Amino acid sequence: MRICITILVSAVTLSAGAQSGKPSGVQPGVRPNIIFILADDLGYGDLGCYGQQKIATPNIDAMANAGLRFTQFYVGTTVCAPSRASFMTGRHTGHTPVRGNREFKPEGQFPLPDTTVTIPRLLQDKGYLTADFGKWGLGYPGSAGEPLKQGFSLFYGYNCQHLAHNYYPDHLWQNDQRVELTVNRQGDSIYAADLIHQHAMEFLRQPKDRPFFLFLSYTLPHAALSVPHDTVYDFYVKKFNEPPRNPATTPQYEKAAFEPYPHAAYAAMVARLDRYVGEVRAGLERQGIADKTLVLFSSDNGPHREGGNEPDFFDSNGPLKGIKRDLYEGGIRVPFIACWRGKIRAGTVSSFPGAFWDLFPTFGELGDGGKGRPAGAPEMPQIDGVSIVPTLVGDTGRQRQHAYLYWEFHENGGRQAIRWGKWKGVRLNVHNVADAPMELYDLDRDAGENKNVAAQHPEIVSKLISLMQEAHTPDRNWPLLASEGPMD
C-alpha cells in the first residue's frame, strides 16, 4: 500500500492584481533571491497557460498571469543530463563538457569536470546561499561532478537520473551522504517527490542573512508513471474513463512500476507539480520575500512516451512537432515563465528566442546587483548565453540577440539542429553518415515543421551548415560526426 508523505497545504492560486502596475525595473544594488523550478519531461503544451485542455494547472497558470510567459524558449538539448549541463555552464551542447546521458555504475552519470564554472559556483562567489532539491545527474557520488563540488551549499534528492525513474527508491542523497529509505524495500511507502519537496519548503522557511539561489529540480512528470492513488488520481481516472492496461502485454521494462491507468497517472503527476509551484509561491508570501525573489519555471526537454504515456492524448507538444529525443521544436521548445513582483510586468508575453544557456549571464547580472563583479571574484568563463534581464524587466530595446541557437543530441545516430533567425535546420544520423542532409523549416510560417523547404533555399542550407561547423567543438568524450569516429 502506498502511503504518501505530503505537506498538507492546499494549492494556492495567487492573484496577479498586485503586479498590475508598471514594473520599476532592477535598481542598482538589488540582488534578488532566485528560484528556478525545473520540471522533468514536461511538454510545451502540458500547461493551461500554453493551451492544455485536459489537465488543470491553476498555480502555474497564475504564475504566468502574474509575470512573463515566453513562447520561444529552448532547452539545452532534448534529454536530461546535457540539457542541465547547458543550463549550469551557460554553453550550448556544442561546447558543454556533458553532451549525453552516459551512465556510471553503480549509480550516476558522466561528471562535470572540477574546473567547470557553474551557476551555483558563480553565485556562491557573489555571496549567495545555494541549494538544489531534486535530481542531479551531472556526476556520480565521489566524482568531481557532485553537487557540493559544483557550487551547491545544500543538496537533497537523487544523484543519479536513472535511479530517479523510481519514485519509491530505497535511498536518496543529502549533500554527499546516502540517506536510506528502508521502508521502500518492503513496498511503496515514501513518495520521494513529496519528500524532496518537503525539504525544499523547509529551506524556504529558514531565516537567511543573504540572498539565495534555489534550484528545484523536480522529477515530475518523468517516467515511470508513478503517483499516489489519491483523490486527484481518482478524479482523472473517472474523467478519462480509460480501460486499464493489461500487465501481460506491458513491455518488460515497464513492469517494475506498472500503472494500470497511465493517462490518469500522468495528469496527476502534472497536477502534483502544479501544487508544488503554488506552495513555493505561497511560502514566499508568508516569508514576506515575494518582491525580493525572481521565480522561474521551465522543463528540461519535451514530453516523453514512456511507461504508457501518450503525448498525443494530451497534445503535450501543442502545435509543435516532436517529443523528447527529437531536435524538432516539440523536443526542445518548452514552457518558460518568469515572475518577480514589482519588477516583471504581470500578464506579459515574450517571443524572444532564448535558451537555457542564457540563464548563466542572467543570474550573474542579477547577482552583481548592477555593481559589477566583486573584487577578487574569478573572471567570467567563455559562454554562449546572453543576459535576458532586459526582457524580464520590459526594457526590450536593450536586449541582445543571439547570432544563432545550436543543439546536439548524441543518441539515435546523432542529431544536430540550429536556429538562425526564422530558419531552423535539422540533421539526422550525423554519427553514421558523412554530410548528412539538412532539413530546413521557416518557423515564421511553419512552427510545426511540416514542410521541408531545403530544396528551395540552397543558400540558406549552406549558411546553416557553416554555422553548425562553427558551433560544434569536437570533444574526445563526445564524438558526434561521422568524421570524428566511433565513441570510445
CATH of the domain at 396: 3.40.720.10
Residue 387 sits in the same domain as residue 437? no
Q: Does some domain include residue 276?
A: yes
Residue 43 sits in the same domain as residue 76? yes
Phi, psi of 158 (to 5 degrees): -90, 125
Assigned C-alpha cell, 381 = 568563463
Assigned C-alpha cell, 43 = 511538454
In the prediction, which pLDDT does 362 show? 97
Partners of 134 in the beta sheet? 157, 217
Q: Does some domain include residue 335?
A: yes
> Is the bond into 224 cis (omega within 30 degrees of 0)?
yes
In the prediction, which pLDDT does 103 show? 96
Q: Does some domain include residue 20?
A: no
Domain limits for position 165: 30-403
Q: What is the 3-state secondary structure (H, E, C) of 119-139?
A: HHHHHHHCCCEEEEEEECCCC
Can you say whether the dihedral through the CA atoms of 142, 147, 153, 157 is positive or negative? Answer: negative
Run of H or E including 171: strand 171-174
Tell me whether strands 415-420 and 405-409 are parallel, antiparallel or unpaired.
Answer: antiparallel
Q: Does some domain include residue 369?
A: yes
Q: Does some domain include residue 19?
A: no
Residue 422 sits in the same domain as residue 292? no
Closest CA to 305 of 366, 380, 251: 251
Phi, psi of 194 (to 5 degrees): -70, -40
Q: Are 407 and 77 in contact (CB under 8 A)?
A: yes
Burial string for 94-109 (b: 16+ CB within 10 Å, else e) reads bbbbbbbbbebeebbb
Tell me whether strands 212-217 and 33-39 are parallel, antiparallel or unpaired.
Answer: parallel
Q: Catalogue the E-assigned strands of 195-307.
A: 212-217, 293-299
Residue 382 sits in the same domain as residue 421? no
In the prediction, which pLDDT does 258 show? 86
* CATH number of the domain encompassing residue 459: 3.30.1120.10
Residue 345 sits in the same domain as residue 429? no
Q: Are 321 and 44 in contact (CB under 8 A)?
A: no
Residue 441 sits in the same domain as residue 303? no
In the prediction, which pLDDT does 443 show? 98
Residue 422 sits in the same domain as residue 396? no
Assigned C-alpha cell, 35 = 528560484
Q: How far apart are alpha carbons 131 and 115 in whole angstroms?
A: 20
In the prediction, which pLDDT does 249 show? 76
What number of other Cβ atoms are within 10 A of residue 350's Cβ? Answer: 20
Q: How far apart are alpha carbons 215 and 229 in whole angstroms?
A: 28
In the prediction, which pLDDT does 257 show? 77
Rounded alpha-carbon distances, angstroms, from residue 197 to 141, 156, 201, 272:
22, 10, 6, 11
Closest CA to 77 of 374, 336, 411, 341: 411
Assigned C-alpha cell, 135 = 535530481
Q: How far apart are alpha carbons 325 and 311 in whole angstroms?
A: 13
Domain end among 381, 403, 425: 403
Q: How far apart are the first and last CA of the chain?
A: 45
What is the tally of structural domains in the chain?
Answer: 2
Q: Does some domain include residue 14?
A: no
Q: Does some domain include residue 8?
A: no
Residue 324 sits in the same domain as residue 291? yes
Q: How far apart are alpha carbons 418 and 404 in whole angstroms?
A: 7
Length of the chain: 488
Q: How far apart are alpha carbons 462 and 276 in whole angstroms?
A: 46
Instruction: State which residues of the chain have pLDDT below 70.
Output: 1-28, 252-256, 370-380, 485-488
Residue 359 sits in the same domain as residue 443? no
Going by C-beta distance under 8 Å and a sequence separation of 6 or more, which residues neighbour residue 130?
120, 123, 124, 151, 152, 153, 154, 212, 213, 215
pTM above 0.85, yes or no: yes
Assigned C-alpha cell, 46 = 502540458
In the prediction, which pLDDT does 187 show? 86
Q: Are 362 and 388 in contact (CB under 8 A)?
A: yes
In the prediction, which pLDDT does 375 show? 47
Domain end among 370, 403, 436: 403
Residue with cell 519537496: 197
DSSP 244: P
Residue 399 sits in the same domain as residue 417? no
Domain end among 360, 378, 403: 403
Residue 357 sits in the same domain as residue 441? no
Q: Does some domain include residue 10?
A: no
What number of other Cβ atoms are within 10 A of residue 49's Cβ? Answer: 17
Residue 241 sits in the same domain as residue 353? yes
